Chain A
Amino acid sequence: MSQQKILVIALLQRGVVSPAVYELLTAGRSLANVLKQPLAAYLPGGTAEQAKELVERGADRVLWSGHAALKDFNDELHAQAVLAAAAQEQPSWVLIPGSVAGRSLACRVAVKLGAGLATDINEIDPASGAVKRSHYSGNLQATMEFKSPVRVVTVQAMVFPQAPAQAGRAGEVTELAYAPAAAGTEFISFQAEEAGEIDLGGAERIVSGGRGVGGADGFKAIRDLAHALGAAVAASRAAVDSGWIPYRHQVGLTGRTVRPKLYVACGISGQVQHLAGMSSAANIVAINTDPECPMMQQATYLVVGDMFELLPLIVAEIKKRRGQPVAA
């Protein structure tokens, strides 16, 4: 068997290594072990310190380019940098986070490498080289085979566990020179969401509200529970289209796809479009007045009742268990 090198693309998010990269290192490590290859990573826009952390988390060899042009995600400049790293490493596998930046980057990298591209994969078979991903909006799971020698994949968030740091682990760290070429894309600015908001894509716990929330005010109960659980806040299309909560919270076919350990669906009937975005959650709690609604069939725990009555009681119970004061 020819040597199949593996290259993980360690994208930063606002200067910090994205947790999705640690998940890629887990996926990459299992490939590397089966293919008997070292695991390489490329860190565009990072530092030597960050490169060393990737070694501690399982990379055998890390290339990094610390150029200021790579500070914020720029499709063209990042692709140029990744292609330079790929030219040096000659990987057969390029693993990229399944984020907005990752998917954008993967398009250009795959075309330039003449490589097959599978997005949001949730399984890799190192021996056969096949990958799995959902299609038809989560209703079917496809096994994809590559016809190209180079495989580019983006990996769905929360599928692989994060590779833990092993202090003192040895590996090679090399700076890769990078000089930005002319690009047609210019980064102007970044406007952050409210501080303290947990991103849905990487959230372990999510509390979500639907039509049953009844209005923008109703989301206070959702937020209170999310706060008590350290969870992200999500919504169904019905709630977003009614203007109760911004679109970035929408889960489902037209919104985000999530894969938390716990998804608490409050007043969400569970239409197929919503299920498309969350049916791979490990555990689902359905809280609904309608015991027959489709969400109940998906649920790990079925709770029939009024969410406005139940949610404050659940919050109070959590606080009681933690020995925190309970509001009257």
Chain B
Amino acid sequence: MPLNIVVCVKNVPSTLAVPVDPATGLPKTAGLVFAMNPFDEYAVEEAVRIKEKTPGTTITAVALGPESDGAVLREAISRGCDAGVLLSGAELQGGDNFSVSRALAAAIQKLSAEKPVHLALFGKSTNDDNSGVVGGQVAAWLGWPGVLFVKKIESIDENSAVLCRMMEDGVDKLKVKLPAAVGTVKEINEPRVPSLKGKMAAKKAAIPTWTAADLGLKPEEAGAAGARVKVARSSAPPPRPAGTRIAGATPAQTAEKLVAALIERKLI
């Protein structure tokens, strides 16, 4: 039976060197080039692979951000998603993981009301905030099973999925009832680049925008007002102290000097 899949994606700065605005003490992202969060490519690819194995499956990409973030949904469509929905409007902006996951959960519920969603896929984390919790929080809001750090979807049908989760000391195998939310890691697949056909579809796609009100959220439940944490300020970490060059007349002497230095510092 075909599945109905949602993939949550985010538009993030494509550089890691984000400056701090001296006036606000906060990261300044205006003017930077944005692209799909690289970890989300794995989630999109996994959805497309499920679709290839289960014909008739539909994939909707959902993003939350400013109007310009429609671009990330077109990128998702070019990679094989069927449709995109942008959650936007002033009330949804400036959120934290709590309010963003709440809005995404509300969007998944709204999509489910039209056609039941079986699976919501997420990247490992986003390049900007690095929290890696929104997928798990969406599961909590919806009362669904939620499994993060998934390196393999071993099997999936409309009722359940068998997942391999990468733990620190090995691999957990879990069976979850669907619907469920799944966070992926890089090992799950190798994302393909957008196809020409996909790019054409992306160009033509109509991307609806849903506001907080469309999602049934009160203003105090959305965006900055609905957030539970905020970044008060941000700064570059202190630079590392200058290092010491270790060099001997021969490689053996270099090795000797290095080991002596490490022992002196009680590092080995």
Contacts and interface: CB of A to CB of B under 8 A. Distances in A.
* Dominant SS among interface residues on chain B: mixed
Interface string B206-241: 000000000000000000000111111111110011
Given A100-B148, A140-B20, A313-B255, A107 B140 contact: yes
B35 to A, nearest CB: 14
B90 interface: no
B2 to A, nearest CB: 21
A310 B255 contact: yes
Nearest to B230: A145
Nearest to A136: B18
Contacts of A279: 237, 240
Interface in A131-145: 134-145
Interface string A234-259: 00000000000001101001110000
A192 interface: yes
Interface residues of A, number: 95
A305 B166 contact: no
Contact of B232 (A139, A140, A145): A145
Residue among A14, A108, A261 having the largest count of chain B Cβ atoms under 10 Å = A108
Interface string A125-169: 000001000111111111111111000000000000000000000
A254 B251 contact: no
Given A107-B140, A248-B166, A318-B259, A144 B267 contact: no
Interface stretch (A28-36, A44-52, A181-189): A181-189
A296 interface: yes
A229 B147 contact: no
Given A100-B167, A141-B235, A313-B251, A119 B132 contact: yes
B165 A140 contact: no
A236 to B, nearest CB: 13
Interface string B80-114: 00000000000000001110010000000000000
Contacts of A106: 133, 136
Contacts of B149: 100, 104
A140 B173 contact: no
Given A136-B16, A190-B173, A253-B127, A111 B251 contact: no
A301 B265 CA distance: 11
A111 B98 contact: yes
A69 interface: no
A111 B101 CA distance: 9
A248 B135 CA distance: 21
B30 interface: no
Interface stretch (B45-53, B54-62, B66-74, B174-182): B174-182
Interface of B: 13, 16-18, 20, 27, 38-39, 96-98, 101, 124, 127-133, 135-137, 139-141, 144-149, 151, 162, 165-177, 180, 185-187, 227-237, 240-241, 243-247, 251-252, 254-256, 258-259, 261-263, 265, 267-268
26 contacts: A103-B148, A106-B133, A107-B136, A107-B139, A108-B140, A111-B101, A116-B96, A117-B133, A117-B137, A135-B128, A140-B18, A147-B228, A147-B230, A184-B177, A184-B180, A185-B175, A190-B171, A247-B186, A253-B127, A262-B267, A272-B16, A283-B265, A298-B243, A300-B240, A300-B244, A305-B251
